[in-house]
């Protein structure tokens, strides 16, 4: 049995929202979406696998009409597969969820020339954190006014590039940046900036990805007075124009409530700025961090659910403070990209002993450091071979010289899994290739886009020749 194509999937408690936007391509993944008829248990969770994923003969899985086994054979492994239509559909879902807001894609999740084009065509802005990401966007002609520049420690090159390209807003993350940035603004117009504030809210899937609480490297504290000091200093800089406040609570936030709490605190602070300095800031950026499902059953509210709660609280908070509704910005990255990606590996060895099974693959922490960094967990499925063997609890490990090089713990794989088998890891579109390293000189994997039965390379495989050209010391 295969999943039923074209059947939308609606998240519990969400209402369909009409899409007023013209779609440059057919939108196969309307959001909110109802559950499709499941093909196999792993494919029953559309937020783990792309909506186009269906079972295929011989134990295979096809995504966007393309066999995963054929992709592994054609491009080699490890390889990352990205469903273009899924990416576009999720971008549209965010625009539908907050039609009056600016939706800015967080490029740190994964960025390439093609992704820059997709975001431009879908009407999203772009959030960048370095001169390199800025330059990449510039090579594609992405509108600079729709770019937001982030970073807790922006280098002089980052700031020079942002000013040269004319980015829309630069987010001030420390007192040190204020005078440094103002001194570099040479044009007749002031540079628009925002202040990243710490609202003092604990939210996120792991302590290493919680960025809205007190006592860490990002932002300026509202409670401690640092944020207000920065606001006052910026208002005294004629070359800087303060347009609003920015905040980012963290990542993998599986409930809209922390965002509602954040709205209340930041709007109250904006009202205080108005009362003390006579300035009504017109923009509020709530950042990103919206959760996706990595395992079937993981909580992952639809964009519409986040959007309704944020809008409701924004209206309420502004009414209580007699503050005009600011223009809202959100910065989804993972929630657009992660569910569209699948990592494919080939099994190199299988070790059985001491009641455990270790399946080693030809990738690892060099292409996906998230499990080693903060215990991320994944769904894993064997593709390309049917098996009648019973399922066995297995640990999938990488090929690198680290005991912590574990890709997935306690996953169910056929007991007869063997070298040469292909393993597919869904929800791999974000923070894998973008965080990949050159550890052991294995070379970073390629990224392949699939759409309407075809595939094409977005990023080629990194080779030893690439390393050799960089190593110029003799």
pLDDT digits (tens, 9 = 90+) for 83-115: 999 999 999 999 999 999 999 999 999 999 999
What is the DSSP pairing of strand 381-383 with strand 327-330? unpaired
One of 3.40.50.2300, 3.40.109.10, 2.10.50.10, 3.20.20.10 is the CATH number of 85-335, namely 3.20.20.10
The pLDDT confidence band at residue 215, using thresholds 50, 70 and 90, is low
Question: What's the mean pLDDT in 235-244?
Answer: 96
276 vs 297: CA distance, rounded Å: 48
Is position 462 annotated in a ligand binding site?
no
Is position 415 annotated in a ligand binding site?
no
Fold of 1-84+336-474: Lyase, Ornithine Decarboxylase; Chain A, domain 1 (2.40.37)
Question: What's the mean pLDDT in 237-253?
Answer: 92
Which residue has better confidence, 249 or 271?
Answer: 271
Question: What's the mean pLDDT in 201-214?
Answer: 53
Is position 244 annotated in a ligand binding site?
no
Domain boundaries, given as residue ranges, for the chain: 1-84+336-474, 85-335
Other CB atoms closer than 10 Å to residue 238's CB: what's the count?
A: 9
Active-site amino acid positions: 401
Q: What's the pLDDT at 41?
A: 52
* Residue range 6-55, pLDDT digits in tens: 333 333 333 333 333 333 333 333 333 333 334 545 555 446 999 999 99
Residue 367 above 80 pLDDT? yes
Is position 402 annotated in a ligand binding site?
yes
Residue 1 above 90 pLDDT? no
Q: Quote the distance between the C-alpha of residue 348 and its chain's center.
A: 30
* Residue range 253-267, pLDDT digits in tens: 989 999 999 999 999
Q: What's the pLDDT at 42?
A: 54
Q: What's the pLDDT at 23?
A: 37
Question: What's the mean pLDDT in 330-356?
Answer: 95
Q: What's the pLDDT at 154?
A: 92
Is position 289 annotated in a ligand binding site?
yes
């Amino acid at each position: 049995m295969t999943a039923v194509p074209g059947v939308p999937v609606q998240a519990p408690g969400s209402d369909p929202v009409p899409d007023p936007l013209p779609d440059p391509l057919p939108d196969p993944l309307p959001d909110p979406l109802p559950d499709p008829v499941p093909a196999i248990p792993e494919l029953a969770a559309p937020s783990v696998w792309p909506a186009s994923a269906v079972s295929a003969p011989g134990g295979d899985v096809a995504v966007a009409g393309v066999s995963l086994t054929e992709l592994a054979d054609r491009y080699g492994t490890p390889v990352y597969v990205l469903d273009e239509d899924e990416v576009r559909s999720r971008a549209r879902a965010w625009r539908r969820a907050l039609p009056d807001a600016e939706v800015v894609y967080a490029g740190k999740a994964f960025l390439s020339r093609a992704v820059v084009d997709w975001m431009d065509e879908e009407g999203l802005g772009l959030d960048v954190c370095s001169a390199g990401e800025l330059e990449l966007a510039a090579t594609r002609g992405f509108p600079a006014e729709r770019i937001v520049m982030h970073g807790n420690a922006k280098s002089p090159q980052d700031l020079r590039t942002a000013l040269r390209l004319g980015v829309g807003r630069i987010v001030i993350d420390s007192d040190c940046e204020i005078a440094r940035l103002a001194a570099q603004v040479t044009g007749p117009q002031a540079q628009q900036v925002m202040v990243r504030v710490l609202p003092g809210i604990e939210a996120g899937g792991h302590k290493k990805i919680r960025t809205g609480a007190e006592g860490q490297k990002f932002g300026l504290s509202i409670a401690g007075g640092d944020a207000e000091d920065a606001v006052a200093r910026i208002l005294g800089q004629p070359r800087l124009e303060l347009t609003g406040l920015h905040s980012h609570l963290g990542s993998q936030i599986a409930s809209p409530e922390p965002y509602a709490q954040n709205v209340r605190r930041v709007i109250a602070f904006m009202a205080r700025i108005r009362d003390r300095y006579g300035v009504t800031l017109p923009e509020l950026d709530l950042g990103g961090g919206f959760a996706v499902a990595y395992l079937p059953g993981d909580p992952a509210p639809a964009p519409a659910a986040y959007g309704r709660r944020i809008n409701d609280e924004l209206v309420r908070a502004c009414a209580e403070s007699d503050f005009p509704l600011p223009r809202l910005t959100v910065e989804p990255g993972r929630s657009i990209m992660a569910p569209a990606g699948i990592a494919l590996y080939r099994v190199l060895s299988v070790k059985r002993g001491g009641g455990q099974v270790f399946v080693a693959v030809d990738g690892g922490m060099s292409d996906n450091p998230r499990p080693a960094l903060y215990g991320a967990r994944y769904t894993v499925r064997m593709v390309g071979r049917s098996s009648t063997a019973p399922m066995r609890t297995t640990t999938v490990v990488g090929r690198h010289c680290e005991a912590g090089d574990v890709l997935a713990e306690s996953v169910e794989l056929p007991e007869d899994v063997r070298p040469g088998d292909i393993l597919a890891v869904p929800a791999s579109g974000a923070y894998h290739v973008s965080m990949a390293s050159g550890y052991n000189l294995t070379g970073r994997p390629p990224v392949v886009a699939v759409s309407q039965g075809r595939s094409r390379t977005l990023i080629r495989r990194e080779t030893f020749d690439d390393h050799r050209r960089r190593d110029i010391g003799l």
